[in-house]
């Protein structure tokens, strides 16, 4: 491999590792913080499901939640949004009884939007395990960026929105939730495991690609240069590794530097995913690190290209992509 290419590849992996390390440190600092105390009087809360079919299940869940039942209600996805706090979550997601209390407790005047963790169901299946591990890395990045005061890009649909931050005259969930990226002055991340909701995985590898393409599409269109640079850098790292792997199959001289770069990328991914995996009791997923990194080396370049060449195709396709980005 030419020295200039070795330098470029090493620089990309090193930059990725620095970002992963900074995000991990930020997430660790965020989770060590003491949770806010409960308010003297719990505000009224409205849960807004993504789909009509989720409303009945959520109403049943509300009856057994830890929040005062006379202060919480479930609205229709396309209906008005009353209440002091609006809660949203992905479609078909399961929320623990502690979810409303944990999210509302984190709401405050200086950060009216609170993003909570979303975990991916995997049932120890191969592709869902890879998606779940990738998503843990996103949670670390999201929590770390929030703690470091950086703009937050497309994130999770598990959110709490204070009514005071709604645009004047907004009555629906779509109009009430501000677009991504969210400024650190208006958004906070809730790292509490009690706030974690669990959503289904992508139905297939194509759906996973579609979800990743939707993430890239929103990140590239974001007004924040930091969010855009994050998406471009992520694509460049994986595209460079994919190209080097392809050439290394034919040229033995490329194999050693490519393997070292892959090992460096795997180490950075362990640093990135370990804080969230440990915090949310998902450390067993780290056994899939090698498979996840290899999948991302293939899927991220494809998803980035998909986001550029088919900007409208993924907007209405892909159930999980819509679920995760609706509240963004």
Provide the number of structural domains found in the chain.
Answer: 2
Decide: helix, strand or coil at residue 221.
helix
Q: For 6-49, write each residue's pLDDT tens digit.
A: 999 999 999 999 999 999 999 999 888 777 777 888 888 888 88
Are residues 231 and 261 located together in one domain of the fold?
yes
- Phi, psi torsion values for 140, nearest 5 degrees: -60, -45
Are residues 45 and 176 located together in one domain of the fold?
yes
Q: Which domain holds residue 271?
A: 3-27+203-321
Residues recorded for the chain: 328
Are residues 124 and 83 located together in one domain of the fold?
yes
Are residues 71 and 106 located together in one domain of the fold?
yes
Are residues 226 and 187 located together in one domain of the fold?
no
Are residues 240 and 172 located together in one domain of the fold?
no
Q: How far apart are CA 89 and CA 61, in angstroms?
A: 13
pLDDT of residue 80: 66
Q: How far apart are CA 17 and CA 155, in angstroms?
A: 21
Are residues 12 and 105 located together in one domain of the fold?
no
The percentage of residues in the chain with a pLDDT greater than 70, rounded to a whole number, is 85
pLDDT of residue 140: 93
Q: For 157-187, write each residue's pLDDT tens digit.
A: 888 887 766 555 554 444 444 444 444 446 7
Whether residue 141 lies inside any domain: the answer is no
pTM: 0.82
Mean pLDDT, to the nearest integer, of 222-227? 84
Q: What is the mean pLDDT of the chain?
A: 83
pLDDT of residue 198: 92
Are residues 241 and 264 located together in one domain of the fold?
yes
H runs (alpha helix) in the chain = 3-32, 53-62, 99-106, 126-148, 173-176, 205-221, 225-248, 255-279, 289-309, 319-325
Q: How far apart are CA 119 and CA 192, in angstroms?
A: 12
Mean pLDDT, to the nearest integer, of 60-87? 81
Which has the closest alpha carbon to 218: 130, 115, 311? 311
Q: How far apart are CA 264 and CA 256, in angstroms?
A: 12
Q: How far apart are CA 284 and CA 274, in angstroms?
A: 10
Are residues 17 and 86 located together in one domain of the fold?
no
Q: Which of 8-12, 58-62, 232-236 has the lowest mean pLDDT?
A: 58-62
Greater pLDDT, 45 or 319: 45
pLDDT of residue 76: 75
């Amino acid at each position: 491999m030419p020295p200039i290419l070795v330098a470029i590849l090493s620089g990309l992996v090193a930059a990725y590792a620095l970002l992963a390390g900074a995000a991990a440190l930020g997430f660790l600092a965020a989770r060590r913080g003491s949770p806010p105390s409960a308010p003297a009087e719990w505000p009224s809360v409205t849960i807004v499901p993504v789909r009509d079919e989720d409303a009945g299940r959520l109403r049943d869940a509300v009856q057994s939640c830890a929040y005062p039942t006379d202060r919480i209600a479930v609205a229709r996805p396309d209906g008005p949004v009353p209440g002091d706090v609006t809660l949203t979550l992905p479609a078909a997601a399961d929320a623990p009884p502690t979810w409303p209390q944990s999210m509302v407790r984190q709401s405050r005047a200086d950060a009216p939007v609170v993003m909570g963790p979303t975990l991916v169901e995997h049932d120890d299946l191969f592709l869902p395990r890879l998606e779940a591990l990738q998503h843990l890395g996103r949670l670390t990045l999201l929590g770390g960026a929030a703690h470091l005061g950086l703009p937050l890009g497309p994130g999770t649909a598990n959110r709490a929105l204070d009514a005071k931050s709604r645009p004047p005259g907004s009555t629906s969930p779509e109009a009430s939730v501000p677009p991504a990226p969210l400024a650190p002055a208006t958004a906070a991340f809730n790292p509490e495991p009690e706030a974690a909701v669990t959503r289904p995985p992508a139905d297939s590898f194509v759906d996973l690609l579609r979800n990743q393409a939707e993430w890239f599409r929103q990140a590239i269109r974001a007004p924040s240069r930091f969010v855009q640079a994050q998406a471009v850098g992520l694509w460049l790292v994986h595209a460079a590794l994919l190209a080097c792997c392809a050439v290394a199959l034919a040229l033995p001289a490329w194999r050693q530097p490519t393997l070292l770069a892959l090992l460096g990328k795997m180490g950075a991914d362990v640093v990135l995913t370990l804080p969230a995996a440990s915090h949310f009791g998902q450390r067993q997923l780290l056994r899939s690190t090698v498979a996840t990194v290899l999948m991302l080396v293939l899927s991220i370049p494809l998803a980035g290209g998909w986001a550029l060449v088919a900007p409208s195709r993924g907007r209405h396709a892909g159930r999980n992509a819509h679920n995760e980005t609706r509240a963004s």
